[in-house]
Chains A and B, each alone.
Chain A
Amino acid sequence: MGHKKGMPNFSKTFTTSSFRKSFVTAVFSAFFAVSVWASRDSVASDHGVTTAVSTHEVTIANHEGADAHSAAAHADAHGAEASLKEEKFAPGKMIMDHIADAHDWHLWGEGHGSVSIPLPVILYTESKGLTVFSSARFEHGHAAYEGFKLTEKGKVTWEQEGNTEAIYDISLTKNVVAMLIAVLTILIITLGMAKSYTKNKGKAPKGFHNLVEPLILFIRDDVAKRSIGHKTDKFMPLLLTIFSFIFVNNVFGLIPIFPGGANVTGNIAITMVLALVIFLTVNLNGNKYYWKHIFLPDVPVWMYVIIIPIEVLGVVLKPFVLMLRLFANITAGHIIILGFFSLIFIFGAMNQALGYAVSPLSVAFTVFMGLLEMLVAFLQAFVFTLLSAIYIGMAVEEHHH
């Protein structure tokens, strides 16, 4: 595209490479400055301890020296670290707790000081019938309520050991609430759009709707029509629902606090249900050419013994891979971001100065990964929809070559 005369050429003045250079320079100078400042701070506060050996005793001695000398702002950080020392920081457990489903929505804090939104626990058992109570009754797994308790992994079990009666847990867990929020968001957007389209018939959409319309048209024209052909309209509601559900949940998962942060599309049970829907859609809509390709392929008859099992395997494998791809990509993204944050505390536990030195680098990487995850959030929703459309297209294809 050419530029109009008299208009400043923004693409030249603000190129990606110049942005990248200044970004990298800023990050590294910040990293350098903080590490210099941190090392000066710890050296200045050293009394007797001259070598910065990262043993436990030395670190504690360092802290006491630093506390006596540094400003009140510092003392806060030291206090935070001192409380961290009480419970040893376990990054693996923290990450797994964050990506797993839970009975409460964790906001901030660790251990006893953690703040979370309690969610309703709904249980069905043969002996007690339907039991409904708030997950706050469990006090983060420290207390039992009505004979139920919460295990380390966040599962509800019987209080007394050895009771093997089945518990049907249909609670509104973190993922369920996150899904409801996502569905509500989609409904508000789409119903609002439908209303404005009927009101302003023939006019261009305004504001936020202008952003959503190209997305929907993109799915219809570039994804569905190219893969399915003239039967597109029949599958559009399904494909758009799947796309918007995955996309909105992916984006909400990137928000660190309350309405987001749940690992919905990174939960294998949820991706399994999505893949199952695609599996059923493909196979219930498959025409005779689709089934002929599987059970009567164009190969010599003696090869049928080998080919038919492989083709049947392919039918199951395609949705299986859909399930795995979405689950793995989203979970990996959450783990990487949490891992970068954990680095600060892992290094901080070794040596306080090291913790300060690592933090800007850690934050920079997290920002980078966050941007990348925004791309992944769209890409995975797009890929899931595209492959679903292709599989449906292969099943409903009329002619056969």
Chain B
Amino acid sequence: MREWGKYTGVAFEMIATVVLFVFVGRWVDAQWPMSFPVGTFFGALLGVGASLYVILKKF
């Protein structure tokens, strides 16, 4: 039971991770405006990467 307990929140953890990084990216964009939203773009990419890394590390 305990072994698979860590997978119970996986879906929401992944969503929350991506959302967290996107919001950090948006904050960056608001602070230093650029010609296109670099912060949001790389924030989302980094968020997806980070969520995958955290989930895969658990296996």
Known: A306-B50, A307-B54. A314 touches B13 (CB 8 A): yes
Known: A306-B50, A310-B50, A387-B8. A393 touches B2 (CB 8 A): yes
Interface pairs (23), CB distance under 8 Å = A227-B1, A227-B2, A229-B2, A299-B57, A306-B50, A306-B53, A307-B54, A309-B20, A310-B13, A310-B51, A313-B13, A313-B17, A314-B9, A317-B12, A317-B13, A317-B16, A320-B12, A387-B5, A387-B8, A390-B1, A390-B8, A393-B1, A394-B2
Secondary structure at chain A's binding surface: helix, strand, loop or mixed? helix
Contact with A along B30-41 (1 / 0, CB 8 A): 000000000000
Q: Which of B1-32 contact A (CB under 8 A)?
A: 1-2, 5-6, 8-9, 12-13, 16-17, 20
A382 in the interface (beta carbon within 8 A): no
Known: A307-B54, A321-B9. A226 touches B17 (CB 8 A): no
- A386 to B57 Cα, complex, angstroms: 24
Count how many pairs of residues, one from A and one from B, have CB atoms less than 8 Å apart in the complex.
52
Which of the residues B6, B20, B57 comes within 8 Å of A313, measured between beta carbons? B20
- A114 to B51 Cα, complex, angstroms: 53
Determine the chain A residues whose CB is within 8 A of the CB of B57 once the complex forms.
Answer: 299
- A299 to B53 Cα, complex, angstroms: 10
Determine the chain A residues whose CB is within 8 A of the CB of B8 once the complex forms.
Answer: 318, 321, 387, 390
A397 in the interface (beta carbon within 8 A): yes
Closest to A313 in B: B16
Closest to A228 in B: B2
Closest to B2 in A: A393
A390 in contact with B17 (CB, 8 Å): no
Interface size class on chain B is 10 to 19
B12 in contact with A321 (CB, 8 Å): yes
A317 in contact with B9 (CB, 8 Å): yes
Known: A390-B2, A397-B2. A318 touches B9 (CB 8 A): yes
Closest to A311 in B: B54
Q: Which of A344-401 contact B (CB under 8 A)?
A: 386-387, 389-391, 393-394, 397
- A393 to B9 Cα, complex, angstroms: 15
**How many A residues touch B, CB cutoff 8 Å?**
24
| Distance between A386 CB and nearest chain B CB, rounded to angstroms | 8
| Distance between A153 CB and nearest chain B CB, rounded to angstroms | 30
- A226 to B3 Cα, complex, angstroms: 10
Closest to B19 in A: A313
- A317 to B16 Cα, complex, angstroms: 8
| Distance between B16 CB and nearest chain A CB, rounded to angstroms | 5
Determine the chain B residues whose CB is within 8 A of the CB of A299 once the complex forms.
Answer: 57
Determine the chain B residues whose CB is within 8 A of the CB of A394 once the complex forms.
Answer: 2, 5-6
Determine the chain B residues whose CB is within 8 A of the CB of A309 once the complex forms.
Answer: 20
Closest to B5 in A: A390
Determine the chain A residues whose CB is within 8 A of the CB of B20 once the complex forms.
Answer: 309-310, 313
- A318 to B9 Cα, complex, angstroms: 6
Determine the chain B residues whose CB is within 8 A of the CB of A317 once the complex forms.
Answer: 9, 12-13, 16
A226 in contact with B13 (CB, 8 Å): no
Given contacts A306-B46, A389-B1, 19 further A-B contacts (CB under 8 A): A226-B1, A227-B1, A310-B17, A313-B13, A313-B17, A314-B9, A314-B13, A317-B9, A320-B12, A321-B9, A321-B12, A386-B1, A387-B8, A390-B8, A393-B2, A393-B5, A394-B2, A394-B5, A397-B2
Question: Of A227, A229, A299, A314, which is in contact with the most chain B CB atoms at under 10 Å from its CB?
Answer: A314
| Distance between B23 CB and nearest chain A CB, rounded to angstroms | 11
- A42 to B13 Cα, complex, angstroms: 58
Determine the chain A residues whose CB is within 8 A of the CB of B5 once the complex forms.
Answer: 227, 387, 390-391, 393-394
| Distance between A322 CB and nearest chain B CB, rounded to angstroms | 9
Q: Which of A295-352 contact B (CB under 8 A)?
A: 299, 303, 306-307, 309-311, 313-314, 317-318, 320-321
| Distance between A312 CB and nearest chain B CB, rounded to angstroms | 10
- A227 to B5 Cα, complex, angstroms: 9
| Distance between B57 CB and nearest chain A CB, rounded to angstroms | 7
Determine the chain A residues whose CB is within 8 A of the CB of B2 once the complex forms.
Answer: 227, 229, 390, 393-394, 397
| Distance between B10 CB and nearest chain A CB, rounded to angstroms | 9
Closest to A314 in B: B13
| Distance between B53 CB and nearest chain A CB, rounded to angstroms | 8
Question: Of B2, B8, B16, which is in contact with the most chain A CB atoms at under 10 Å from its CB?
Answer: B2
